[in-house]
Structure 1
């Protein structure tokens, strides 16, 4: 059962993410977005539960990547196409394909590097490119803004298409992005951080679209800081490597 539990959570995330497509086909985009968000939440805990139960396996890792490619690549691509991009069938489909393909390429790169010892970003506590669940969430930003404001301009495929392509290429980029391990709040602000997260949970129920939009914009605003932070860490490593070692005593 230790091996079944985390893999069952991954399978549930896969089914919920794909169910978002069904909601989008019926025009229920609110529930479609909710399905992808729930799939992202489950994706965030299945690996931790596997490590907690000491049930990590190659099968689980492969299943997780397949589930991510469908829940955060195929499902968001089709939801955005049905919501906006189908008004430009050719260019809109190209943008949807870019999102799905880049998500799969990112996951394939991740799997290929599992056994690679030299990973500069990972060893420094950073990720390479935008993670798949985050990329899916940020790609929905025009939909969040459209639902929050009621303005149809955010549904314009000429706006949505380039945005989706941009997020797609950020997912496969070589840009260093923050991971949970690289975020280390000072002890003096931990209580305030707990309060902020609690309030964020309340706002998700009170004003879900504005909250999701603000979180997406805040994440994108942090990208330059992650680049600068990693560049600083890299310079420090290069400096340490270039310093001459002390001569060993005879």
Structure 2
């Protein structure tokens, strides 16, 4: 007798094959296919735990959980590519997890910490950010399904990516932990800032992604690069909130420069100067990996 709940294959394969007299034949899934999904589940657990810690007034731990969720989100796709364990199921699960980790969790942590000072305006700001994160991720899913992209999309994001948005929107929390007073005035200011970050997520602002320099590091710059990374991690561990504040402000300050660089190289004037090779020409998508989360 066929089971009313056939097993779901993450790769979208049909498991309707039957062995005569033995019922449905269940195909085994290699354990390596499960590892990226387990990492995604851990990221969801971290985001949800961050929400609980915020309601229990453990704000520092709540922010740490959100940042850990962001780290795990960056790891799962790379692990999937390393193990050759990409799947459509994993890609969809990753996107749904990101709505929690980069939309709902930061919004609720913000509301518990400071936005509640603005009452309904603070709650509206939290909703706007969470919805904006969902829209940003939905747009990413649509873009990732296209077989062709504009040439400049190999070097720029369309709007601020969701993980960076989560880092930016928590700036009022960093400042509050450092001693900035939490009152009605700062609550309204934080609400306006939260809405602003939400609009950056869904905007069409070109944001430099750094993918153009991901090919490698010059041999003479390897040691300085490692030293800078060590210094940053050391500062992050010793002066966590100050380092996160500077990082968020530096990212915001870089946005106009990235947009200007895009305009000079790929904007309308550039197209006029390069009529034979328009910058807006499309090219085949370089990666067909459904878990390629570089533009989320």
Whether TM exceeds 0.5 here: the answer is yes
Counterpart of 1:6 (choices 32, 36, 46) is 36
Distance in 2 (alpha carbons) for counterparts of 1:190 and 1:127: 26
What's 1:28 paired with?
58
What's 1:50 paired with?
80
The 5 Å alignment of 1:140-155 reads 140-148=170-178, 150-152=179-181
User: Secondary structure of the residue that 1:127 maps to in structure 2?
Assistant: strand
Deviation of 1:55 (Å): 1.0
Provide structure 2 residue ranges, at least 5 long, that are not aligned to the other structure.
1-30, 278-296
Distance in 2 (alpha carbons) for counterparts of 1:121 and 1:224: 20
What's 1:76 paired with?
106
The 5 Å alignment of 1:137-176 reads 137-148=167-178, 150-152=179-181, 156-176=186-206
Answer with 68-77 or 139-148: which moved more.
139-148
Count of equivalent residues? 243
Q: How big is each residue's C-alpha offset from its partner over 1:55-76, in whole Å with a ceiling of 9 and x where there is no partner?
A: 1111111111000000110011
Deviation of 1:119 (Å): 2.8
What's 1:248 paired with?
none
Runs of 4+ in 1 over 6 A off after TM superposition: none
Task: Pick closer, same or farther for the CA change 1:186–1:162 going to 2, 3 Å.
Answer: same
Q: How big is each residue's C-alpha offset from its partner over 1:52-99, in whole Å with a ceiling of 9 and x where there is no partner?
A: 111111111111100000011001111111111112221111100011
Distance in 2 (alpha carbons) for counterparts of 1:224 and 1:197: 25
- Answer yes or no: is the 8 Å Cα contact 2:117–2:188 preserved in 1: no
Provide the aligned C-alpha RMSD in A: 2.1
User: Secondary structure of the residue that 2:157 maps to in structure 1?
Assistant: strand
User: Secondary structure of the residue that 1:152 maps to in structure 2?
Assistant: coil
Distance in 2 (alpha carbons) for counterparts of 1:118 and 1:37: 33
The reply on whether 1:215 has 2:244 as its aligned counterpart is: no
Provide structure 1 residue ranges, at least 5 long, that are not aligned to the other structure.
245-250
Distance in 1 (alpha carbons) for counterparts of 2:136 and 2:78: 21
TM-score (norm 2): 0.77
Structure with greater helix percent: 1
Structure ID, larger Rg: 2
- Answer yes or no: is the 8 Å Cα contact 1:142–1:154 preserved in 2: no
Deviation of 1:189 (Å): 4.1
Answer with 118-127 or 30-39: which moved more.
118-127
Task: Pick closer, same or farther for the CA change 1:189–1:29 going to 2, 3 Å.
Answer: same
